[in-house]
């Protein structure tokens, strides 16, 4: 069931998703250091497609849904920590 999460719901979930990313990718930073609105690719965190697959795996395990590229805009979902978190909040089944 897809619902549009409130900004408050997204903000509350942000720290958890940040922690998930840092742990999954062994990043040399603390979760709080990730700027929620900075790009995850390129000039921000500098993630690549390998990272995206690794994140998708932990997201599917934790939140009980599969990421798909055919009906969603990957670029948008991974544009920032906040965008990824909003996507999780709207899709999660657990």
Partner 1 sequence: MKHLPLISRHGLDDTLAWRHDGPVSVRRFLAEAAALAARLPDGDWLLNLCTDRYRFAVGFVAGLLAGKTSLQPASQSAETLARIDTAYPGCCCLRDGAFATGTLPCVDYPDLSAASPETVAEIPEIAAERVVAILFTSGSTGLPQAHCKTWGKLVANALAGASTLGLLETPMNIVGTVPAQHSFGFESTFLLALHGGCSFWAGKPFYPQDIVNALAALPRPRLLVTTPFHLSTLLAAELPLPPVDLLLSATAPLSAELAGRAEAACGAPVREIYGSTESGQLASRRTVDGARWHLLPGVDLSQDGDVIYAENGHVEGRIALGDRIERHADGSFTLLGRHSDLINIAGKRTSLAWLDHQIASIDGVVDAAFFLPDEADDTAITRLTAFVVAPTLSPTRLLAALRQRLDPIFLPRPLVMLESLPRNTTGKLPRQALQALYEGRRKND
Q: Which of 74, 79, 90, 92 binds partner 1 (CB under 8 A)?
A: 74
Interface with partner 1: number of residues (CB under 8 A) = 25
Closest to 47 (Cα-Cα) out of 61, 29, 27:
27
- CA-CA-CA-CA dihedral for 23, 24, 27, 29, to nearest 10: -30
Contact 37, 80 (CB under 8 A): yes
Which of these segments, 1-9, 14-22, 67-75, 79-87, binds partner 1 (CB under 8 A)? 67-75
- Piece of the chain touching partner 1 by CB under 8 A; list 8-16, 65-73, 80-88: 65-73
66 is written with which tokens? Answer: 């599969």
Binding mask 11-50 for partner 1 (x = CB under 8 A): --------------xxxx------------xxx--xxxxx
Task: Report whether 18 contacts 34 (CB < 8 A).
Answer: yes
Residues that bind partner 1 (CB under 8 A): 25-28, 41-43, 46-50, 52-54, 56-57, 60, 66-70, 74-75
């Amino acid at each position: 069931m897809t619902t549009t999460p409130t900004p408050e719901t997204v903000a509350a979930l942000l720290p958890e998703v940040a922690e998930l990313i840092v742990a999954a990718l062994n990043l040399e930073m603390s979760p709080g250091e990730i700027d929620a609105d900075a790009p995850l690719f390129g000039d921000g965190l500098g993630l690549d497609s390998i990272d995206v697959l690794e994140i998708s795996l932990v997201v599917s395990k934790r939140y009980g849904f599969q990421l798909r590229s055919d009906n969603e805009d990957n670029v948008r979902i991974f544009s920032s920590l906040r965008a990824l978190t909003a996507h999780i909040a709207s899709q999660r089944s657990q």
